[in-house]
Amino acid sequence: MRDEPNEHQAFALPGTRPRYGPDKTVSVEHIDLHLTPDLADESLEGVCTITVRALDEPVPHLTLNAVDLEVSRVEDAGFASRDGALEIEFDPALVPGESKTFAVHYRVRKPRHGLFFVKPVASDPQRAA
């Protein structure tokens, strides 16, 4: 048995600087997904209805990850879609404790991550579609 203290090695690579996530401005209270896959086109159409509640300060906008999504509209909120992000605009801003529900209508075709379309191939025609 060793008498040495348990020393841990640093996990980060040399030269790496700490990165922190954004402050949490809302609590997600509910998510309702309605999805329609198109297996032949390797695409998916969806409507994601989200209810959020503002936490400690007014919330004029919310940024959501939208990589590979083609957002067609957002019900009950303004929006802008750019660089893989979806900016939801609240006018007026949500006050602390206030809840807001909005619906994002989108499409994704041949997604690179998170969803995979598996089709039969010549070498395995019985492969599940």
Burial of 54 (0-12, 13-18, 19+ CB in 10 A): buried
Q: Is pLDDT of 76 > 80?
A: yes
Q: In what order do the strands lie in the sheet with 43-54?
A: 26-38, 43-54, 99-109, 70-75
Confidence class of residue 115 from pLDDT cuts 50, 70 and 90?
A: confident
End-to-end CA distance of the chain: 56
Greater model confidence, 115 or 100 = 100
Q: Is pLDDT of 2 > 60?
A: no
Query: What is the mean pLDDT of the segment spanning 123-128?
Result: 74
**Tokens coding 71:** 């957002």
**Tokens coding 27:** 């609590």
Q: What pLDDT score does 3 carry? A: 58
User: Distance (Å, rounded) from C-alpha 100 to C-alpha 55?
Assistant: 12
Amino acid at 58: P
Query: What is the mean pLDDT of the segment spanning 25-31?
Result: 97
Average model confidence (pLDDT) across the chain:
88
